[in-house]
């Protein structure tokens, strides 16, 4: 790793076992990718979310040359951080490992063009709760995303109609997006449905899911 690991605790008391575990998983990422530039990890207690309970989140962000950023963000409801934070951190690193493998395969020519990151349009934003939904223009699938899944701290720039590129994955409540990156701001392409202001029914009906 060209730049030393960055580890931040936000709303979570520093714990040596958490630091040791994060360093262990980061070292595995470094072994997977011999040109890894940097790895940044945030372990935090979420302040705003559509879920109830005590949500904690682990965010893993890596940079590959020449300046390719990848983000994995996982959340879980935790009653005892000293016991239950490890699975949340593990899921975030496992998601990042999948992204690195995919990116490595793409660079080696093993991934076809149509397998690369899809694009979609933002259809609803809930900025006071740090999340939103994007919709695929090809099949109409909607994907939940959290502020921490948006690259370059661009969450506040997102509005309905913004075109983004993202990594798709399946969460407990349905499709969700990670590594969300702005392609074009509103007006670049026609858009319908941007005026919607309510999440899909399945997200309202099951508030205990682990998303992001």
Q: Which of 107, 133, 149 is the last residue of a domain?
A: 107
Q: Which of 107, 128, 144 is the last residue of a domain?
A: 107
Distance CA 119, CA 184 (A): 10
Asked if 111 and 98 count as a contact pair (C-beta separation under 8 A), the reply is: no
Tokens, residue 95: 């998601």
Tokens, residue 61: 């962000």
Which DSSP category does 157 fall into?
G
Distance CA 35, CA 28 (A): 13
Q: Considering only residues 55 and 10, tell me which one the structure prediction assigns the higher pLDDT.
A: 10
pLDDT beyond 50 at 186: yes
Asked if 141 and 176 count as a contact pair (C-beta separation under 8 A), the reply is: no
Confidence of residue 187 (pLDDT cuts 50, 70, 90): very low
Q: Considering only residues 198 and 83, tell me which one the structure prediction assigns the higher pLDDT.
A: 83
Confidence of residue 198 (pLDDT cuts 50, 70, 90): low
Q: Please give the pLDDT value at position 65.
A: 85
- Are both 14 and 42 inside the same structural domain? yes
Handedness of CA 161, 162, 167, 170 (dihedral sign): negative
Can you tell me the mean pLDDT for 116-134? Answer: 87
| CATH value at residue 173 | 2.40.50.140
**Cβ count within 10 A of residue 56:** 21
Distance CA 105, CA 101 (A): 6
Domain tally, the chain? 2
pLDDT beyond 60 at 209: no
- Are both 101 and 12 inside the same structural domain? yes
Q: Please give the pLDDT value at position 200.
A: 53
Which DSSP category does 160 fall into?
T
Note whether residue 67 is domain-resident. Answer: yes
Q: Please give the pLDDT value at position 46.
A: 73
Beta strand spans in 36-193 (E) = 38-45, 55-64, 68-77, 119-126, 131-135, 142-146, 163-171, 174-184
Q: Please give the pLDDT value at position 137.
A: 84
What is the domain range of residue 97?
Answer: 6-107
pTM of the model: 0.59
Tokens, residue 128: 């006071």
Strands 55-64 and 68-77: antiparallel
Q: Considering only residues 102 and 112, tell me which one the structure prediction assigns the higher pLDDT.
A: 102
Note whether residue 212 is domain-resident. Answer: no
Distance CA 72, CA 190 (A): 30
- Are both 69 and 151 inside the same structural domain? no
- Are both 68 and 123 inside the same structural domain? no
At residue 8, φ and ψ (nearest 5 deg) are: -125, 140
pLDDT digits (tens, 9 = 90+) for 13-58: 888 999 999 999 999 999 888 788 999 999 988 765 444 556 888 9
* Cα 165 → chain centroid: 12
Q: How far is CA 185 from CA 131, 142, 178, in A?
A: 18, 19, 19
Q: Considering only residues 79 and 151, tell me which one the structure prediction assigns the higher pLDDT.
A: 151
Note whether residue 205 is domain-resident. Answer: no
């Amino acid at each position: 790793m060209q730049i030393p690991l960055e580890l931040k605790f936000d709303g979570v008391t520093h714990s040596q076992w958490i630091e040791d575990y994060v360093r262990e998983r980061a070292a595995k990422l470094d072994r997977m990718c011999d040109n890894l530039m940097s790895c940044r990890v945030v372990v935090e207690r979420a302040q705003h979310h559509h879920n109830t309970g005590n949500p904690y989140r682990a965010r893993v962000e890596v940079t590959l040359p020449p300046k390719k950023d990848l983000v994995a963000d996982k959340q879980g409801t935790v009653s005892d951080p000293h016991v239950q934070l490890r699975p949340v951190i593990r899921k975030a690193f496992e998601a990042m490992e999948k992204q690195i493998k995919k990116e490595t395969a793409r660079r080696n020519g093993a991934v076809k063009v149509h397998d690369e990151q899809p694009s979609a349009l933002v259809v609803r934003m809930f900025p006071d709760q740090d999340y939103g939904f994007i919709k695929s223009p090809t099949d109409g699938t909607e994907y939940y995303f959290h502020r921490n899944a948006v690259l370059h701290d661009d969450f506040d720039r997102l509005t309905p109609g913004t075109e983004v590129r993202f990594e798709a994955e399946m969460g407990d409540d349905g499709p969700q997006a990670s590594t969300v990156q702005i392609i074009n701001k509103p007006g670049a392409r026609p858009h319908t449905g941007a005026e919607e202001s309510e999440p899909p029914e399945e997200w309202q009906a099951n508030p205990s899911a682990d998303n992001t």
